[in-house]
Structure 1
Amino acid sequence: LWSSSRFSDENVSRFRQCLKENPRYLQDKVQHYFKDNTHRLTLTMSPDESFLEKQAEAEEQKLHQKIQNLSDADHKDIYEKGLQLLAAQSTAQDASCLPALKVSDIEPIIPYTPVQPGNAGGVPVQYCEQPTNGMVYFRAMCNLNSLPEDLKIYVPLFCSIITKLGCGELDYRQQAQRIELKTGGMSVSPQIIPDTDDLDLYEQGIILSSSCLERNLPDMFQLWSDIFNCPRFDDEQRLRVLVMMSAQELSNGISYSGHMYAMTRAARSLTPTADLQEAFSGMDQVKFMKRIAEMTDLTSVLRKLPRIKRHLLNPENMRCAVNATPQKMSEAAGEVERFIGNIAANRKERKPVRPTVVEQHSGLIDPECVRAVPFTHADYASLCILARMMTAKFLHGEIREKGGAYGGGARMGGGGLFSFYSYRDPNSTQTLSAFRGGVEWARAAKFTQQDIDEAKLSVFSAVDAPVAPSDKGLGRFLNGITDEMKQRYRERLFAVTDKNLIDVAGRYLGVGQQTCGVAILGPENESIRKDPSWVVK
C-alpha cells in the first residue's frame, strides 16, 4: 500500500491509526485490490495426452534425418570415436596425483554415547543427555505383533493420517495449528527392524516422533495423550483428502525411486523382513492405496481405524526414548510418566502371539537381491566393503558409462541382503549380465589394495557421519545396536583383506551359492515378455 519499501515511523503510525479507526482495514484493502479488482489475466493450461508419443516420434524423425545426412566418412568417424570412447572407459585412471586420506588416518575407536535406562508406569524408557540447545526429542516404538494379519496392509495409511484427523476437542485444523505452535512436528511411521543375529527374526511396529522447546513439554505430551485416547475417526471427507494425497505421493515416488521399489520387490521372498517391507512400502502398498483412493465409500476404511488404534496405540506394547539437556532431563522424565499415566486406559493384556512364519523361496539365477548375513556376522563387514568397491570400480563404468543408465551399483543392507541395482536404465536386461560380471570380477581379484582402501574410506565416511544430538542413542533404542557392537563392526572393517573379499564374493554371490530374487520395474520389455522364467505383472 506504500510506494516505499522502507517503512518510516510516520508510515507505521499511520498504519496503526488506520487499524484503530477501522478494524477491518486490511480485509477491506484485500477486497478492493484483489477480490473486486477486474484488471486480471487468467491463464489455463491443459496437458496434451499424447505429448510423450509425439515427443518420441519427433526425436525418431530427427535422428533418422541426421543419420540420412551422414556420409560414409562421417559413419567411419563416428565408429572410430566410439571405439576410442570405449577404450577410454576401459582404461584405469591414475588417481595417485590427487590428495587423499589414508585408512590409517581414521580413528580406531568410536566415541561412546552414554544412555540411562529407566521406567515410566511399566513402560521402558531410554534417557540420553545431550546438548540439544533447549529442545526435547521424544520417540516411542509401539509393537504391532498383536495386530490381525488382515489389518497390517492398512498400517502405513493409519500412520500417515493419525496426526491429521483431529483429536480430543480439536478438529484437524485446530490440531495442525496446535502442533505447529507448540512442537517442531509430530509424525508416525511404520518401522520394520531386522534382528542383528538372525535374518528370519524381526520387530514390527510404528515409531512416534516429536520435538519441542523445553517450556512446551506439557503441551506436546497433551497432544500425544489426545491422539492415544480420543482420535477423531468420524470425518470421511477429511479421510478422503488424506488418502488422495498419500496415494498421489506414492505414485509420484515411482519415477525417481523406481530402483528402491524394484529392490524391495526382488527381496520380498528372501526374508520375512523384506516381505513385510514390500507390504508396507513397496509396489503392493502403491497398488493398495490406489485401490483405496478409487473407492466411492470409505466407511469400511473408517471402521478399521479404531481397531488398528486399539492394537497399536497401547502402552503394553510400547517403549520410549528421550533426548534432552541434563538440566531438563528430570522434568522430561516427569512428563513422560504423566503421559503414560494418561494413556493407561489403553493398556490391555494380550495373549502371546505366534511368531510369523514365512516360507523361503529361491529366486532367478541372475541376482539383484541376495540373502546374505545379519549385522553381527563376521562376513558382514567384508560384504559392505565389497559392495562399495564393486560399485566404484566395476559397476559404475559398466552400467552408467557404457550402458547409459543414470546410475547403478551394489549395496549391503542392514537387513542382511546384498543388492544390485540400476535406475533409469535403457538396457536393463544387459545390466543383469553386468551384475554377474561384477561378481566374476571380484572373484578373479581384478582389484588393487588401493581399491580396497578407497572402499574402506567410503564405508567409514558413512559410519562416521556426524550424528545430531537429537539422534544420539537412536541405534540402540530402535535396533538394539550397542556401542560395543559398533566397535566390533569397526574393527572388522579395518581388518578386511583381499582374501576376505574374494571369499565372500564366491560364497554368497557365486552362481548356485545364493538365494536370490530379481525384479525390473519399467515399461514393457519384449525380451522379458518372451522369456518364460519371468513373471510379468
Structure 2
Amino acid sequence: MQQLMQASNGLSLGKSSFQGHNPSWRFRSTPATERVLQYQAGQKIHGFTVKEVVAVPDLFLTAVKLTHDNTGAQYLHAARDDKNNLFSVQLRTTPMDNTGVPHILEHTVLCGSEKYPCRDPFFKMLNRSLSTFMNAFTASDFTMYPFSTQNGKDFQNLLSVYLDAVFFPCLGELDFRQEGWRLENENPSDPTSPLVFKGVVFNEMKGAFSDNEQVYAQYLQNKLYPDHTYGVVSGGEPLAIPDLSWEQLKHFHATHYHPSNARFFTYGDMPLEQHLKQIHEEALSKFERTEPDTAVPNQPHWDRPREDHVTCSPDAMAPDASKQNTLCMSYLITDTFEGFTLSLLSSLMISGPNAPFYKALIEPKIGTDFSSVVGTKEASFSIGLQGMAEEDIEKVKQIIIQTFDEIIANGFEEERIEALLHKIEIQMKHQSTSFGLSLASYIASCWNHDGDPVQLLKISDRVTQFRQALKDNPRFLQEKVVHYFKDNTHRLTLSMSPDEAYLEKQVKAEEEKLQKNIQALSESDKKDIYEKGLELLSIQSKTQDASCLPALKVSDIEPTIAVTRVETGTAGGVPVQYCEQPTNGMVYFRAMCSLNSLPEDLRLYVPLFCSVITKMGCGGLDYRQQDQQMELKTGGMSISTSVNPDYSNMDMYEQGVLLSSSCLERNLPDMFHLWSDIFNSPHFDDEERLRVLVMMSAQELANGISNSGHMYAMTRAARNLTPTGELQETFGGMEQVRGGRTVVKSDHEPNFKPCQMKTFFPMPFPINFVSECIRTVPFTHEDCASLNILARMMTAKYLHGEIREKGGAYGGGARMGGGLFTFYSYRDPNTVQTLSAFRKGVDWAISGQFTQQDINEAKLSVFSAVDSPVAPSDKGMGRFLSGITDELKQAHRERLFAVTDKSIVDVAGRYLGIGQRTCGVAILGPENDTIKKDPSWVVK
C-alpha cells in the first residue's frame, strides 16, 4: 500500500458516517418510513384501499400496496428517506403488428393534452421544472412514464402534466405525422420536390436497426416467442411504420391507456396521501372499471428445437473483418421458475473468467464477446458468441452443449457462489442517485404480468431460500441445468452473418415502399400532402404559448449550495482527501496517477492498458484467482482514463488514470492488498489472456458507435480546439475505436494551436450524427454562466424545433462545458440542413429574439442539472478531480442567477458569431457525395 500511494498523485476516500462505525447497525425507521407504517390493510385513502404494508429492511424502505376502488388501478408506494422522489405510471401495451404503435403513441401523448393543449408540453416542462429525470419508455409489453424531482411543488406540477398526457392526450393528426411518420415533399415549401418518408420515430428506428446487436436481439425475441406480442417489433420495424394510420393510433390508446390497465409507482420521502389525492382527483375519478384484454398468454412450448438465420450490415469497425458472425442458443423457461435462481445461475455460467462458458467460448478466441440476451413475461436464457468466423459456427454449437454437460457433471465451486452472494450484498448497500428509477425498472416486468412486486424487493429472503435449497440438495443447481437446458426442447439456435449488400437492400426496400405509396396517390392526394406539409411547417414555426403549463420560478431555486465537508492531509508524501458520508458501511476509494511523463507515442494505448490491468492476474494470483478475490472482497476494481481541463485556463489540464473501487468496511485491508499487487506485480506475461481481452475491448468499442454516435461526433469536433479535446479524442473518440490506424502525432502542452477541422466518417448507418464545437471560456470565466444559459435556451427555444420537429432527428441541441460550446444531433436524416440550423441558432440568439421568461426557463433547466443529487460515494469528487471547490461552485451559481438578456446577446456575438469562432465539425453517417466533393472536409 505504501508503494501504491507513492505512485499516486492523490487519493480520495469516502466512508460511512455512522453505519460503518457500528457493524451491528440495522434498519432504522426514518420519518418517511414511519409515516406509512401506521397504515392498515383495508384502510381507505382518497379513493384507494390499502392492501398491504411491508417493511423492506434490505433496501431501507417500507412498501405500501393499494388498489383504486373505482378502476382497479394498482398502486405501489416505496417510502424511503430519499429526497429524490419518483413517480411512474406503466401500462401493459401489447401490439400485434410491426407498425410501432405503442412507441409512436408514447411520443404522441406527450405532444399536448386537454388541460395542457400547447404543443410539446413534455419538452417544455424540461425548462419549467427542477426535475432530476423526465422520460418515457416503450418495452416489448409495457410503456412507462417516469419522472423524479427533489422539489415538492415541482412534483405536483409534473404529476399534473403526466397524468393529463397519459389519460387525456389530444392525439392530433399533425402530432402523429410529426412524431410517427408522414409522406411529405422533401422541401415542404416546394410542391415539385420529391415525396419522401419523414417522422421522428421512423428515423429513430432506422437508427436503432443500424445497430447489429439490436437487430440480433430483436430477431431473437421475435423467433423465440413467435405466437403473440413478442413476435412483433414494439418499437416499430422501419418499413412497417408507414402502415400505421392515425385512427389505429387513437384506437390503441382507447384500449390500452385506461386506469384498469395501469400500475402506479411512487417513491421517496414525500407524503403518500398527497399523491393519492392528486392522482384520484385529476385522473382516476373520471373513469369506471373496464376489463382490458391485454394479458399475454404463455408461448406454446415447442416439441423440438428450431434454427434460424438473420443477416446484418458488415461492421467497418470490427476488430477482425473475417470474424463478424454471431451465434446464440436461447431457451424458453416455461415453468414457474424462481427468477432469482435463474439470475444467479446465469451469472455463474457466464460472468467472469471463472465461468464455464467464458472458459469454453471466449478464451479459445473463437469469438470476441457474448451475444445478446432478451427478457419478457416468461424467462429465457441465451448463450452465444459474436465476432466469430463462419467456419466456427458448428464448433460453437457443440461447445455450448458440451459445456452444459460439464456443468451438470461438476457443478460450481462454493467460493464462486459466495462471491456472487457477496456482490448482491454490495448492490443492496450501494446508494445511487436514481434508486427510485432503478426500483421502478426492476419491478416493471414482473408487476406488468400480475406478479407481486413487493416479493421481488425481499432480496435477503431470496438469498436465505437459495442457501437452504443448496443445503438441502447439493445438486440443486445441476438439476436446474438438466431441467431447463439439457432437456428443454424449446430451444432456438440463431446465427447472424454480414451481407455486403445489406444496406443496399435496405435502401432499395425503402424506395420500393415509398414508390408503392406514391403510386397509390391521386393528384388531389398529392395536393393534400403538400398542404398538410405547409400546415405542419407553419405550426412548427410559430412561437407557442406555454402559459397553460405550470412552472417553478427562479426564486424557487436555493440561493446557496449545500457544503460538502472534506478533510485533506497527506500519507507517504501523497495528498489525501477524506469525505465522511452515510454509505451503509461501504468504503469508496479513488486514486489518480499522473500521465504527464508518458511518451506521446504510447498515449493511444492508455485506454487498453486501463481495461486489461485489473484482469491479467497479480502477485501470487493468476487472473482467475484475482477475479475471484475481487468478487469476494470488493464491489469492483477498475482503472479508467481521466482528462480534466483546468477550471481557469483553457490550455491547461490534468491527465491521468483513475483507480476506483469499493468494498464493505470489513474488507478494506483485502482491497488495498489487491491494489498493491496490481501496482507492484501485475502479470503481463500471459499473451493469450492479453489477446482475448484486447479483442473483447475492440468489439465493445465497435458496438458502441451506433448508439452513441453523437458523443463520438462531439469528441471529434472538439479535437482541434483545446489540448483537452485532443487528448479525449485519443483516449475515447474515433481515434481509439479505429485502434490507432492513424495516430496523429502532435505536441500537447505549450505548442498547441487551436485550428479549424471538418471531419466526415462514412459509417454503415442510414442516419447521421452531427456536431459542431466552438472554443469559448473555462469554468471560472465570467462569461461561462451566460454561455451555459444560452446553450439551454437555444436548445429549447430554437434547435429542438429545427432539428427534431422540422428536421425529423431523434434529438439535437447545444451544451456548454469544458470550455467548449457544442452543437449536436442524434439519429438525424440531415447533415447540411442541421449545420445550417446550428448557425441560424446563433443568429437567433444574437438578434435577441427571446423573452425574460425564456431566460428564466433556461435557468431552471441549468439549475436542475447543477443541483441534481450526488450519491454519497461521489461527494467531493469534483474537488478531487478538477479542484473545483464549493466556493468556486457558489461563485458560478451567483453568476448563473445574474445572467441577463444583454449578457446572452453579448456572448453569442463575441464567441459564436461568424469570424469570432474557432470551430470544429464532425459527422458520422452514410456515404455522402456532397461532402466528399467538398475539399474543406477531411474524409476518414
Whole-Å separation in 1 of the counterparts to 2:478 and 2:551? 65
Structure 1, unmatched stretches of 5+, are: 7-11, 20-24, 293-352
Determine the structure 1 residue equivalent to 2:15: none
Q: Does 1:432 align with 2:883?
A: no
Structure 1 residues 45 and 13: alpha-carbon distance in aligned structure 2, compared to 1, 3 A threshold? closer
Whole-Å separation in 2 of the counterparts to 1:155 and 1:62? 48
Aligned partner of 1:359 among 748, 753, 763: 753
Q: Does 1:191 align with 2:649?
A: no
Q: Does 1:129 align with 2:580?
A: yes
Contact 2:633/2:667 (8 A) holds in 1: yes
Structure 1 residues 122 and 430: alpha-carbon distance in aligned structure 2, compared to 1, 3 A threshold? same
Q: Which residues of 2 match residues 209-248 of structure 1 at below 5 A? A: 209-248=660-699
Determine the structure 1 residue equivalent to 2:775: 371
Determine the structure 1 residue equivalent to 2:887: 484
Contact 1:363/1:515 (8 A) holds in 2: no
Whole-Å separation in 2 of the counterparts to 1:60 and 1:400? 23
Aligned-pair CA distance for 1:5 = 7.9
Aligned-pair CA distance for 1:37 = 5.4
Contact 1:246/1:289 (8 A) holds in 2: no
Aligned-pair CA distance for 1:515 = 1.0
Q: Which residues of 2 match residues 53-202 of structure 1 at below 5 A? A: 53-202=504-653
Amino acid at match of 1:476: R
Q: Does 1:397 align with 2:801?
A: yes
What are the Cα deviations for residues 308-348 of structure 1, in whole angstroms up to 9, with x where unaligned?
A: xxxxxxxxxxxxxxxxxxxxxxxxxxxxxxxxxxxxxxxxx
SS in 2 for 1:411: strand
Aligned-pair CA distance for 1:52 = 3.4
Q: Does 1:43 align with 2:493?
A: yes
Aligned-pair CA distance for 1:62 = 1.5
Determine the structure 1 residue equivalent to 2:462: none
Aligned-pair CA distance for 1:35 = 8.8
Determine the structure 2 residue equivalent to 1:517: 920
Contact 2:617/2:682 (8 A) holds in 1: yes
Determine the structure 1 residue equivalent to 2:898: 495
Whole-Å separation in 1 of the counterparts to 2:553 and 2:672? 48
Q: Which residues of 2 match residues 265-344 of structure 1 at below 5 A? A: 265-288=716-739
Q: Does 1:263 align with 2:263?
A: no
Query: Identity across aligned pairs (percent)?
Result: 69
Aligned partner of 1:409 among 809, 813, 829: 813
Determine the structure 1 residue equivalent to 2:870: 467
Whole-Å separation in 2 of the counterparts to 1:208 and 1:56? 46
Contact 2:791/2:814 (8 A) holds in 1: yes
Whole-Å separation in 1 of the counterparts to 2:904 and 2:693? 48
What are the Cα deviations for residues 207-250 of structure 1, in whole angstroms up to 9, with x where unaligned?
A: 00111111010111011011011111011111111111111111
Whole-Å separation in 2 of the counterparts to 1:486 and 1:31? 55
Q: Does 1:380 align with 2:784?
A: yes
Structure 2, unmatched stretches of 5+, are: 1-334, 339-466, 760-769
Contact 2:758/2:922 (8 A) holds in 1: no
SS in 2 for 1:126: strand
Contact 1:182/1:212 (8 A) holds in 2: yes
Whole-Å separation in 2 of the counterparts to 1:186 and 1:522? 36
SS in 1 for 2:655: strand
SS in 2 for 1:517: strand
Structure 1 residues 37 and 258: alpha-carbon distance in aligned structure 2, compared to 1, 3 A threshold? closer
Determine the structure 2 residue equivalent to 1:418: 821
Contact 1:247/1:290 (8 A) holds in 2: no
Task: Judge which range, 107-116 or 383-392, deviates more.
Answer: 107-116
Contact 1:197/1:376 (8 A) holds in 2: yes
Contact 1:367/1:516 (8 A) holds in 2: no
Contact 2:634/2:661 (8 A) holds in 1: yes
What are the Cα deviations for residues 57-104 of structure 1, in whole angstroms up to 9, with x where unaligned?
A: 122112101111110110111111111101111122221111111001
Aligned-pair CA distance for 1:469 = 1.1
Contact 1:191/1:204 (8 A) holds in 2: yes
Whole-Å separation in 2 of the counterparts to 1:101 and 1:481? 28
Aligned-pair CA distance for 1:51 = 3.7
Q: Does 1:534 align with 2:928?
A: no
Determine the structure 1 residue equivalent to 2:445: none
Whole-Å separation in 1 of the counterparts to 2:848 and 2:711? 29
Structure 1 residues 130 and 72: alpha-carbon distance in aligned structure 2, compared to 1, 3 A threshold? same
Aligned-pair CA distance for 1:56 = 2.3
What are the Cα deviations for residues 384-429 of structure 1, in whole angstroms up to 9, with x where unaligned?
A: 000000001000110111111111111101x201111112211111
Amino acid at match of 1:45: S
Structure 1 residues 48 and 31: alpha-carbon distance in aligned structure 2, compared to 1, 3 A threshold? closer
Aligned-pair CA distance for 1:108 = 0.6
Contact 1:399/1:431 (8 A) holds in 2: yes
Amino acid at match of 1:139: R
Determine the structure 2 residue equivalent to 1:507: 910
Amino acid at match of 2:900: T
Task: Judge which range, 258-267 or 454-463, deviates more.
Answer: 258-267
Structure 1 residues 515 and 30: alpha-carbon distance in aligned structure 2, compared to 1, 3 A threshold? closer
Amino acid at match of 2:801: G
Amino acid at match of 1:229: N
Contact 1:199/1:374 (8 A) holds in 2: yes
What are the Cα deviations for residues 480-527 of structure 1, in whole angstroms up to 9, with x where unaligned?
A: 001100000000000000000000000000000111111111122111
Whole-Å separation in 1 of the counterparts to 2:476 and 2:566? 53
Whole-Å separation in 2 of the counterparts to 1:42 and 1:536? 42
Aligned-pair CA distance for 1:358 = 1.7
SS in 1 for 2:939: coil
Structure 1 residues 83 and 148: alpha-carbon distance in aligned structure 2, compared to 1, 3 A threshold? same
SS in 2 for 1:519: strand
TM-score normalised to the size of structure 1?
0.81
Contact 2:714/2:771 (8 A) holds in 1: no
Amino acid at match of 1:481: I
Considering fraction of residues, name the structure with more helix. 1
Determine the structure 2 residue equivalent to 1:458: 861
Q: How many residues align?
A: 464
Whole-Å separation in 1 of the counterparts to 2:749 and 2:798? 41
Amino acid at match of 1:82: G
Determine the structure 1 residue equivalent to 2:40: none
Whole-Å separation in 2 of the counterparts to 1:443 and 1:13? 70
Structure with greater contact order relative to length (CA < 8 Å, sep ≥ 6): 1
What are the Cα deviations for residues 148-194 of structure 1, in whole angstroms up to 9, with x where unaligned?
A: 11111110000011111111111111111111111111110000010
Whole-Å separation in 2 of the counterparts to 1:224 and 1:389? 46
Contact 2:720/2:920 (8 A) holds in 1: yes
Amino acid at match of 1:85: L
Structure 1 residues 67 and 230: alpha-carbon distance in aligned structure 2, compared to 1, 3 A threshold? same
Aligned-pair CA distance for 1:288 = 1.3
Whole-Å separation in 2 of the counterparts to 1:52 and 1:187? 38
Amino acid at match of 1:280: F
Whole-Å separation in 2 of the counterparts to 1:429 and 1:401? 16
